Homo-oligomer: A and B are copies of this chain.
């Protein structure tokens, strides 16, 4: 058992974002982390599509937060990564590490 499918490139980033946000992972914060940490500016709609797919695949789960009541706004949907999600992330990372091993990129760097 264990389907061992590959994670898409963006899926990986989203999973990592959720992981580092912990309790605070929902649409807006995930989007913001991606922007802050890797300067990736993705539309909120694009993000939710990926979140939905990740949940369908069982790599994350979600729970609606209670109405926060601060100044307008709808209830948040919080996400957390499942054991399967962690495993998928780890496997992808290990594969990447294995492929990078001994590869030296003689590269002049970004100007």
> Which A residues are within 8 Å of any B CB, using their own CB?
2, 6-10, 12-13, 16-17, 19-20, 37-38, 40, 83, 86-87, 89-93, 95-96, 98-100, 102-103, 105, 107, 110
Contact = CB atoms under 8 A, between A and B. Distances in A.
Contacts of A102: 20
- Copies of this chain, complex-wide, total 2
A83 B87 CA distance: 33
Given A8-B9, A9-B7, A9-B9, A86 B105 contact: yes
Interface SS of chain A: helix
A98 B19 contact: no
Contact of A103 (B9, B19, B96, B105): B19
A38 B95 contact: yes
Contact of A19 (B7, B37, B95, B105): B105
A57 B17 CA distance: 28
Contacts of A40: 6, 95
Contact of A38 (B10, B16, B19, B98): B98
